[in-house]
Amino acid sequence: MPNNSTKILLLTTLTSGILISISSNSWFGAWMGLEINLLSFIPMMMEKKNIYTTEASLKYFIVQAGASSMLLFMVMMSAMEESMLINSDNLYTQMLMNTPLLLKGGVAPMHWWFPGVMEGLNWNNCLILMTLQKSAPLSLISYQINNDMFLEMIIVTSVMIGAIGGLNQTSLRKIMTYSSINHTGWMMSAMITGNDMWVTYFTIYSMLTLTVVSIVKTTKLSFVNQMAMTEKKNKLTKFLVFTSILSLGGLPPFLGFMPKWMVIQAMMTNEMKTTATMMVLMSVVTLYYYMRMTYSSLMMLHLETKWLIAQPINKTPKHIILLTSISITGLMMSEMIMNLD
């Protein structure tokens, strides 16, 4: 159970691990950064000492330690191969080096640890796991990416699994996990097409996730039926949840549509029409389960239980309102600024 100063220390080393790994010259430095990141995130997961956090940290540790040692093995083997053999096949080298990084980032065919780990954490650590922990592996992938069949397969599977896996879930953490997997597929395609477009996508995705997580954290929701049972008079919370989730799903008037728009545009110019169609269709499926999360709470005659503890309406924290208003008006604002000149 870390106290505040421990938390500050661990958060600093976590961030510095990410910075070391994304700004290092060699693969050894990148490996060191990933290792520092792992070593400082595991104690942060143990915020409450119970059976869930223990198992989640165990799963996370096993997966990440295995992936980092595999990464180091692949790096050294490929370096020795390039120095020894003259015409070494580059395609397989890139594939082999990307696979442990994809495992670390929780991208689709290697995603099986991700929902289980998320289920055992509290919302703060879920937020870190969905946003900060993805940034180092994804940027390491983006340094060595090129457009080939392997990555296209990764994109399609991660988009599909992120859409279909979330359909039958009742836990909000798992729904957020599968939406994160889906968005990671979009980020990979942004990496293929544009130079730094995936950074934009990642930033906007992180902000929208921060919005949803902070709302859900203050109202203490963790399952879908609890969302439907929120108080009838508390229209503000319902509105905030609904708009920010639609924005995360990428519906046009909201901010979440903007990175998807950019990615679709870039894929159209790069002649990747089949993959783009697949991604758009699957994002409709994700929108379906986002809608199902919130839709029943907006009904006029929905269930309201007697044992509901009423939350005071004027207690909605200010930062949630700020974040939600950014996610509602962000696209319109940025369009206005761009068309101003």
> For residue 209, which of 234, 186, 172, 180 has the smallest C-alpha distance?
180
Report the C-alpha gap between 252 and 321 in whole angstroms. Answer: 20
Contacts of 108 (CB under 8 A, 6+ apart): 154, 157, 158, 159, 160, 161, 162, 181, 184, 185
Rounded to the nearest whole angstrom, what is the least distance from the CB of residue 101 to another protein in the complex?
A: 16
**Residue 39 found at the interface with another protein (CB under 8 A):** yes
The reply to whether 66 sits near another protein by the rule CB under 8 A is yes
Check: CB of residue 250 under 8 Å from CB of residue 327. no
Residues in region 159-198 near another protein by CB under 8 A: 174
120 is a site residue for another protein (CB under 8 A): yes
Is the CB of 77 or the CB of 332 nearer to another protein? 77
The DSSP string of 146-191 is ---HHHHHHHHHHHHHHHHTTTT--BHHHHHHHHHHHHHHHHHHHH
Position 259 contacts another protein (CB under 8 A): no
Q: Where does this chain touch another protein (CB under 8 A) — which range of 16-24, 37-45, 135-143, 233-241?
A: 37-45
Q: What is the DSSP letter of 194?
A: S
Sole window of 27-35, 256-264, 265-273, 321-329 interacting with another protein (rule: CB under 8 A) = 27-35
**Contact flag: residue 117 with another protein (CB under 8 A):** yes
Taking CB under 8 A as the criterion, the residue among 11, 19, 79, 145 binding another protein is 79
Nearer to another protein, 51 or 337 (CB): 51
C-alpha–C-alpha distance, residues 273 and 271, integer Å: 6
Dihedral angle, C-alpha 11, 13, 19, 23, nearest 10 °: -170
Question: Which residues make up the interface to another protein (CB under 8 A)?
Answer: 28, 32, 35, 38-39, 42, 46, 49-52, 54-59, 61-62, 65-66, 69-70, 72-73, 76-77, 79-81, 83-84, 115-117, 119-120, 174
